[in-house]
């Protein structure tokens, strides 16, 4: 009897607008939850594509093996082998490939097949889409770096960072450089006119940057002019950052300024983060060209 009365009273209160308020979720928590959920979907989609996984992770490894076997010997006046220099260069190239190149092509493809348009029409915060991409880029970049680090250590004698300071340089170069290249990938995804042309359009400038930034050609064999041009972009500084974290200190005498300038490294990467973010915000499209 009392239970019935209580239920009736509760129903009356709800009918009169006195129902207990539901707990609210802050916008920040909702965004984090949506981003992690989207990131989980992105990771599953990536690892379900076996050929994409193998190609993404194996390409820098194969390139390292080929380049290290082609160019033997040591950097002039040092005991550092060119294969060790290639490890640091391909670490930078692998990080840039998984963030800038792959992301730009994938987003262009999703735009053309209507995936972006469908996502934009869902209740999911649009920022969650980009943060989900960051999750998958972070995971693939960590895997790429780990594979190259292990290969470089056991096959080519590259030592792991010998101090906390060097570990810190290795970490912030990876995070800041990866962020800059990821934002550039998002911004560049709007440049190709179609998904079919995305690979060619983005590969051309990326390959040029790899050659002049010390990825495929050791930095000691590049002219100062080419290195100065490459210095405008973040890839050269990511490669130099990895050299400063993994190679002996005496090899910095072979750099243009005969030293590793971590302040300039961080400044260039940071500026590109801002530039790419502004460009992406102004140019990013959720629909293909010609669609409403």
Question: How does pLDDT run across 237-290, given as a tens digit for each residue?
Answer: 999 999 999 999 999 988 888 899 999 999 999 999 999 999 999 989 898 876
Give the number of residues written for the chain: 292
Tens digit of each residue's pLDDT (9 = 90 or more) over 185-220: 999 999 998 888 898 899 999 999 999 999 999 999
Q: What is the pLDDT of residue 3?
A: 45
Domain that holds residue 168: 27-283
205 found inside a domain: yes
Q: Is residue 188 part of a domain?
A: yes
The model carries a pTM of: 0.87
What are the tokens at 292?
């409403």
C-alpha 216/C-alpha 86 separation (Å) is 7
The count of domains in the chain is 1
For residue 43, being part of any structural domain is answered with yes
DSSP type of residue 25: -
**Does 153 fall in a domain?**
yes
259 in Cβ contact with 252 (< 8 Å): yes
CB 59 within 8 A of CB 215: no
SS3 (DSSP) at 74: strand
In 3D, which of 162, 175, 180 has the Cα closest to residue 244?
162
Q: Biggest alpha carbon distance in the chain?
A: 96
Copy the structure tokens of residue 74.
Answer: 């040591």
Distance between CA atoms of 67 and 152, rounded to whole angstroms?
13
**pLDDT at residue 23 in the model:** 59
């Amino acid at each position: 009897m009392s239970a019935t009365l209580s239920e009736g009273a509760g129903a009356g209160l709800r009918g009169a607008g006195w129902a207990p308020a539901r707990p609210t979720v802050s916008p920040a928590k909702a965004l984090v939850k949506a981003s992690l959920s989207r990131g989980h979907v992105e990771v599953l989609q990536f690892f379900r594509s076996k050929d994409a996984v193998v190609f993404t992770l194996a390409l820098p490894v194969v390139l390292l093996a080929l380049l290290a076997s082609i160019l033997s010997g040591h950097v002039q006046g040092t005991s550092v082998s060119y294969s060790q220099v290639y490890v640091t260069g391909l670490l930078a190239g692998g990080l840039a490939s998984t963030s800038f190149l792959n992301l730009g092509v994938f987003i262009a493809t999703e735009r053309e097949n209507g995936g972006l348009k469908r996502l934009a029409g869902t209740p999911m915060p649009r920022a969650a889409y980009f943060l989900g991409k960051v999750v998958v880029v972070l995971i693939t970049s960590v895997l790429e770096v780990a594979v190259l680090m292990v290969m470089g250590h056991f096959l080519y004698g590259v030592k792991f960072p010998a101090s906390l300071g060097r570990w810190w340089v290795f970490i912030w170069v990876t995070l800041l450089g990866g962020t800059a290249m990821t934002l550039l990938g998002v911004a560049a995804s709007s440049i190709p006119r179609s998904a079919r042309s995305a690979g060619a359009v983005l590969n051309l400038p990326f390959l040029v940057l790899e050659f002049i930034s010390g990825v495929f050609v050791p930095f000691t064999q590049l002219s100062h002019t080419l290195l100065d041009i490459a210095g405008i972009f973040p890839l050269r500084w990511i490669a130099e950052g990895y050299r400063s974290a993994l190679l002996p200190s005496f090899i910095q005498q072979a750099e243009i300024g005969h030293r590793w300038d971590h302040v300039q490294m961080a400044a260039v990467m940071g500026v590109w983060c801002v530039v790419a973010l502004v460009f992406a915000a102004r140019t990013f499209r959720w629909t293909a060209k010609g669609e409403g």
